[in-house]
Amino acid sequence: MAKSNELKACPFCGAKAELLETIDGYADEIVFISCTSCKTTGGQSDSHAGATELWNTRQPDLEVEQDSLEIQNESLESEIAYLENETINQLKAKREQAEVKIEKLITGIDKVNNVGVALRRENVRLKGVLEKIKTLHNLLPFIAKGVCRCDPDVGAVPCESCAANEILKEIEALNPEQKEE
């Protein structure tokens, strides 16, 4: 609660009030109160205490208060509209940035998938080559002899040396990049 000699805030805008004096050559001293912001005046008296009492107990002028509130409301509405617009613009910018990042991620995922498919194909090809090499390894003793022992009567079953030569041809077919010089 304000002391009796302390000025209350302006009843219209809530700003600080100040005590002013005038001295007229024809009259006694006149003391009144003025708002430091909206410049509303009141509490006119011939003493400090009287002016303070009048200011602190006066009722606000409803028309002036309504005008002040309307101005404040317009200001707040303008600020809200600005902030809403800024927020919308910021959200749009962030969404656009996110869409660009998502597109880059999708492109990266597609590239990884393509590499994965190529690696799986190469893996299957290399497994085939490895199996042929294992078979060749098992046939090395027969290849070293270089003698064909195919049974002309059987016909369908090649000897180990001939089987090794067939496997070498299959390996060459599986790996077309490497050609003998």
pLDDT of residue 162: 72
Quick: pLDDT tens for 92-151.
999 999 999 999 999 999 999 999 999 999 999 889 888 888 877 777 766 655 556 666
Task: State the pLDDT confidence band at 35, using cuts at 50, 70 and 90.
Answer: confident
Report the alpha-carbon distance of residue 141 to residue 135 in Å, rounded: 12
Q: pLDDT over 70 for what percent of the chain?
A: 77
Whether 129 contacts 123, CB under 8 Å: no
- What is the amino acid identity at position 33? I
pLDDT of residue 2: 44
Quick: pLDDT tens for 54-66.
888 877 667 767 7
